[in-house]
Amino acid sequence: MAIATALVEVVPRPSDERLVRVASEFPDYIATRYAAHGLKRIELIELAMKAHYVAADALRRVSEREFAGLLERDPRNPPRSFP
């Protein structure tokens, strides 16, 4: 989560709160990354989707690729649902 917080300070976007919230929901696997995790299949899928969201949001912040933001700001598009 510290990286997400630092990133929103350097490159602020409307999704700042969402990025920090989702990043804070990751379990702490550093010390136990090779141990059994005990997660159910659906929990693993949700975790993977959150990881994908965090990675995509971070890349949009540091690159010139911000198509998602254009779609979100267009009033003709319905709001997205977020993790």
Q: What is the pLDDT of residues 43-53, one digit of tens each?
A: 989 999 999 99
Task: Give start and end residues of each alpha helix (H) in the chain.
Answer: 2-10, 16-24, 41-62, 67-73
What are φ and ψ of residue 9, in 5° steps?
-70, -35
**What pTM did the predictor assign?**
0.76
> Average model confidence (pLDDT) for the chain?
85
Query: Residue 66's pLDDT is what?
Result: 76
Tell whether the model's pLDDT for residue 28 goes beyond 80.
Answer: no
Q: In the chain, where are the structural domains located?
A: 2-73
Measured distance CA(48)–CA(4) in Å, rounded: 17
pLDDT of 75 higher than 60: yes
